[in-house]
Structure 1
Amino acid sequence: MADLGAICQFLEQSLKTSEIADYSGAVNGLQLENPGPVTKVAAAVDASLPVIEKAIAAGADLMLVHHGLFWQGAQPMTGANYRKIKAAMDAGMAIYSSHLPLDVHPEWGNNVGLARAMGLADWQPFMDWKGMAMGLRAEVDWSRDELVERVKNAVGARVHHCPGGPERIGSVGIVTGGAGSQVADAAAAGVEAFVTGEGPHWSYPLAEELGINLVYGGHYATETFGVKALAEELARTFQLEWEFVDHPTGL
């Protein structure tokens, strides 16, 4: 068993939450308290009603997520919003969310997790956003087909590829999640291939025009790495059980 306050302090310090800018809907940190103590952590990508119900069924009293409860801003406590909050509170399950602080973490982050799974090495910071590197880049010597196969194997799902750049690739940039609208930034940074989760329709023809290979590995699939790594670290540090609650969106 572990104290929720001690866990939150560990997460805040380790993820440097207060130092990292994020979108307003992220609301990083403890989003729902419980009376404690914590015995089991459920790691998940989204704090949706079906995921919360799965975490409760798994016996978790802390759910660690990447996309928290407030992405749509302030909402009335009615309907599904009421049901998921009530279910978590009735079960005594706390909810902690970490978005960009977890994406960019040098050890447990989504970017690092995907880079490792793809077999990249010696990566460097990539793509600035508000004074922070959003992703990673690495030098490679891969064919386009090898790049696509490596992403596919890393995420364990189908990927979508725009072969807009050279057939032989010397550099790859990674930003997990929904960074497809930043394909122009990736091209400007000089990489020959850009790997992310998803993006708007216009990113495909733009990638062709800019001469860059674009690979979409799935928003959900590219963001499972961080919560798993962080939950495993919590389990090791605080002697807790942990479980990954898988609820893919296919996007």
Structure 2
Amino acid sequence: MADLKSIVQFLDESLNTCGIPDYPGAMNGLQLQNNGEVTKVASAVDASLPVIRKAVEAGADMLIVHHGLFWQGAQRFVDAQYSKIKEAMDANLAIYSSHIPLDVHPEWGNNALLAKSIGLENAESYHDWKGILLGVKGIVSASLDELVAKVTDAVESPVHVCKGKSDGGVGVVGVITGGAGSEVAAMANQGIQTFITGEGPHWSFSLAEELGINVIYAGHYASETFGVRELSRVLEKKYELNTQFIHHPTGL
């Protein structure tokens, strides 16, 4: 058993929760407390009602997510939103969320772990966003088809590919997980020749072709399972807790 306050303090300090900018609805950190005791930690991408119910069924008393309870902004506690809070509180389930702080963490982050899984070499941070560097770029020793296979294996899900680079090569590879597909023009301006992200708007495919860069759309959900899984492993080791990843894919 571990103390909730101790876990939250460790995560907040390690992830630099207060120092990393984010979208207003992210509300990074502890979003719902419990009685103060933690014996089992569940992790998931989204704090959706089905996920909360699965965490309760698994006997977890702490749930760590990437997209938290307030992602759509302020909402009335009615219908599904009411059920989320009531069922979590009835089960003594604390909920902790980390979005951009987890994306950009150099060891536990979605970007770093996806980049590592595909063999990105000479990795360095890039792409300024609100005063921080949001992505990771480097070189992958592979053809485009080989890189696509690596990404597919890493995210354990089919990917969608825009083969925009005319010579069929890979070049400099940039990784920004989640919904960064709208940044295609910014990627081209920064010398990225193959961009790996989760999803993008329809027009991002056509623009990538016109700009001559490859884009691998790995899935928003699939590209963001890395960080929460890793946080579970970190807490399991540090606090000797039971942990479980709750897989609830959206297919997007």
TM range (shorter): over 0.9
- In the other structure, the counterpart of 1:203 is 204
- In the other structure, the counterpart of 1:218 is 219
Q: 1:141–1:168: 8 Å Cα contact kept in structure 2?
A: no
1:137-181 CA-partner distances (Å, limit 9, x unpaired): 012342221121111111111100000114112210000000000
Q: 1:41–1:63: 8 Å Cα contact kept in structure 2?
A: yes
- In the other structure, the counterpart of 2:76 is 76
- In the other structure, the counterpart of 1:25 is 25
Q: Map 1:1-251 to 2 at 5 A.
A: 1-165=1-165, 166-251=167-252
Q: RMSD between aligned alpha carbons?
A: 0.8
Q: 1:141–1:170: 8 Å Cα contact kept in structure 2?
A: no
Distance 2:185 2:217 in 1: 15
3-state DSSP of counterpart to 1:168: coil
3-state DSSP of counterpart to 1:31: strand
3-state DSSP of counterpart to 1:142: coil
1:13-33 CA-partner distances (Å, limit 9, x unpaired): 000011100000100000001
1:215-249 CA-partner distances (Å, limit 9, x unpaired): 00000000000001011101111111100000000
Distance 1:181 1:249 in 2: 20
Shift of 1:122: 2.4
Query: Unpaired runs of 5+ in structure 2?
Result: none
Distance 1:210 1:96 in 2: 40
Tell me which moved more, 209-218 or 141-150.
141-150
Q: 1:142–1:170: 8 Å Cα contact kept in structure 2?
A: no
Tell me which moved more, 126-135 or 81-90.
126-135
What letter is aligned with 1:216? Y
3-state DSSP of counterpart to 1:205: helix
Identity %: 60
What letter is aligned with 2:229? K
Distance 2:118 2:226 in 1: 12
Given the two structures, how large is their TM-score scaled by the length of structure 2?
0.98
Distance 2:70 2:237 in 1: 29
What letter is aligned with 2:182? S
Q: 1:183–1:203: 8 Å Cα contact kept in structure 2?
A: yes
Query: Unpaired runs of 5+ in structure 1?
Result: none
Shift of 1:94: 0.2
Q: 1:220–1:249: 8 Å Cα contact kept in structure 2?
A: yes
Which stretches of structure 1, 4 residues or more, deviate above 6 A after TM superposition? none
3-state DSSP of counterpart to 1:185: helix
What letter is aligned with 1:154? A
Tell me which moved more, 219-228 or 229-238.
229-238
Distance 2:140 2:92 in 1: 48
What letter is aligned with 2:209? E
